[in-house]
Structure 1
Amino acid sequence: MVSVPPAATTSVAVSAPPAGAPSSATATSGAPSPSPRGARCRTAELRASVGREDPGAGQVNHPVVLTNVSARTCTVQGYPGAAFVDDSGRQLGPDPRRGPESPARVVLAPGGSAWAGLSYARPEISGARTAVPAALLVTPPDERRPLRVPWTAGGVPVAGNESVVTLTALRPGSGT
C-alpha cells in the first residue's frame, strides 16, 4: 500500500455520533496539533462494512466503511486495500485502481467511521466478464491483515471491457 507522508496531509477530526445521528467532522490544515489525536488505527480496532448500493448512470457505487470499535481515538489515512474473493479466498479480478484525490488523515473517535467509494461499470451494460464474490477483503491503510465482509451485491466485473474497479481515499463519515 502506498501512503502519503503525514507532513503532506490535511487532518480531519471525527467525533462519535449519538445513536442514529450522522458522523460530524472538522478539518484543519497544516501541521498536526499537539492535542492527543490518537495513533494509527490497527486492523483489530476496526470493523469493515459495505454500504448499500448508490446507483449512477451505468455505474455501481458502494461505500466501504471502516468503524473504530476500540475504546481509543485512532487515525486512518489513505486508501484501504480491497479484493473480491471466492469461497476459498482466491482473489477474483485485479486490485481496484485508486482515485486521484489527495488522502486526508481522518481521526476516528470510538464509534467514528471513515469511508471510501468503491465503483465499477454495470457489467450488464459494459459487457465485462463477471464473478459473484463470497466476500470483499478490506485492509485498513498501512495494515497487512484484512477484514472479511460478506458480499451480497451480486456479480462484479473481473475481466473484459470496462472491468476496472476504482476505490477512493478514505474520508469522514459512513458514505450515506
Structure 2
Amino acid sequence: MHVRKVTFAVTAAVAAGLALTACGGSGGGAGAAAPPASAPPLAATTPATTTGGGIVPTDGITPTGKASPAPAAAPSGAARPSGSAAGTTATPAGARCTAADLEISLLGPELLADAEQPAYAALHVVNTSARTCTLTGFPGIQVTDDSGRTPTPLTADRDTGFPATAVTLKPKQLANANLEYSDVNTEGSASGRRTCGLTASRAQVILPDETQPKQVKVTGGVDNNTLNICGKLSVQPFQGVPGVNA
C-alpha cells in the first residue's frame, strides 16, 4: 500500500475535541476529579503470543476484554493532578506525568484483523525525566486520513471495560494505551479488503490532564507505518507493563 503523507494542521477545534477525550477518569466526564484506583497491567511492547488478527496482550487481559485482578493501589499520598508552568520549582515525585516528562510513540499492529480478533496499535510512553510521576486515565486520540478522503478527524472512543487507574512511572519506566480497530474491510470485495476509509501515518495525541495535542508518527506494523482504519477506533486507558516496571 502506498500512503501519501502530509502534515496535519492542529486547529483549535482538534485541540478542543481531544481535550474532551483526554482525562483521568474511566467514565465520560472530563478532568481527573476522583483519586486514582489500582492499576492493572497492560500489553507489553512486544507481545509474547499472537492469535487471530491482533496483538494478544500477555498481561492477564484476554481477547474478550476481561482484565485480571489489579495489583495494589497507588500510594495514597501521591499528589493530585495539577498543571505545570515554566519557571516553577521541580514537581514532587509522584505528581502527574506531563508531556515534558514522556517520550511518546505510536506502534502499528503486528497482525491484520480477522473475524476473531481486531488489530491492536499501541500508544507507548517512556518516562525520560529524572523524577517519578503518575499517569492516570485515557489519552485523547484523533486521526485524519492522509489522502484527504475523511477531512473530519476520527476521535477514538474510550473502552470503559478497562479501569482508568494510576500508573506510577519511575525514570525510564513505560506504559501503554492500546488502540483497537479493524484494518480489513469486511464489507468490500476480495480485492478491496485492504482499502479502508481512513489511512493515517500520524495521530494527534493529548495525554491525560493535558490540553495541548502532540503529533505522533506511526511506526512499524503490518500496515507500513500507518493506521489503516475501517470503522470504529477505540482506546484503552494507560496501564503499566508487567515484568518491565519492576
Q: The TM-score by the shorter chain falls in which range?
A: 0.7 to 0.9
What's 1:103 paired with? 164
- State how far apart, in whole Å, the 2-side matches of 1:37 and 1:12 are: 21
- State how far apart, in whole Å, the 2-side matches of 1:12 and 1:122 are: 27
**Cα RMSD over matched residues?**
3.4
For 2:96, give the aligned amino acid. R
**Pairwise CA distance, 1:69:** 1.1
**Pairwise CA distance, 1:108:** 0.6
Is it true that 1:72 corresponds to 2:139 in the alignment? no
Secondary structure of the corresponding residue to residue 125 of structure 1: coil
For 2:73, give the aligned amino acid. S
| TM-score with structure 1 setting the length | 0.73
The 5 Å alignment of 1:41-56 reads 41-55=97-111, 56=113
**Pairwise CA distance, 1:33:** 4.6
- Deviation digits for residues 134-170 of structure 1, max 9, x if unmatched? 311221101012232213125223xxxxx11010111
Is it true that 1:27 corresponds to 2:71 in the alignment? yes
**Pairwise CA distance, 1:132:** 2.2
- State how far apart, in whole Å, the 2-side matches of 1:131 and 1:12 are: 31
What's 2:94 paired with? 38
**Cα pair 1:77 1:104 within 8 Å, conserved:** yes
* Bigger CA radius of gyration: 2
Name whichever structure is richer in strand by fraction. 1
What's 2:35 paired with? 7
For 1:3, give the aligned amino acid. G
- State how far apart, in whole Å, the 2-side matches of 1:120 and 1:133 are: 13
- Deviation digits for residues 32-54 of structure 1, max 9, x if unmatched? 15797510011111111122414
Is it true that 1:146 corresponds to 2:230 in the alignment? no
- State how far apart, in whole Å, the 1-side matches of 2:75 and 2:130 are: 26
For 2:178, give the aligned amino acid. G
- State how far apart, in whole Å, the 2-side matches of 1:31 and 1:99 are: 25
**Cα pair 1:86 1:135 within 8 Å, conserved:** no
What's 2:234 paired with? 166
- State how far apart, in whole Å, the 1-side matches of 2:36 and 2:134 are: 15
Consecutive unaligned residues of structure 2, counting only runs of 5 or more, are 1-21, 26-32, 42-69, 80-91, 189-194, 219-224
- State how far apart, in whole Å, the 2-side matches of 1:79 and 1:91 are: 24
- State how far apart, in whole Å, the 2-side matches of 1:47 and 1:85 are: 22
Is it true that 1:132 corresponds to 2:199 in the alignment? yes
Alignment length (residue pairs): 158
**Pairwise CA distance, 1:94:** 2.4
Consecutive unaligned residues of structure 1, counting only runs of 5 or more, are 14-25, 158-162
| TM-score with structure 2 setting the length | 0.54
Flag the 1:80–1:34 CA change in 2: closer, same or farther, 3 A: closer
Flag the 1:169–1:153 CA change in 2: closer, same or farther, 3 A: same
Is it true that 1:155 corresponds to 2:212 in the alignment? no
What's 1:23 paired with? none
What's 1:21 paired with? none
What's 1:16 paired with? none
Q: Among the aligned pairs, what percent are the same residue?
A: 22
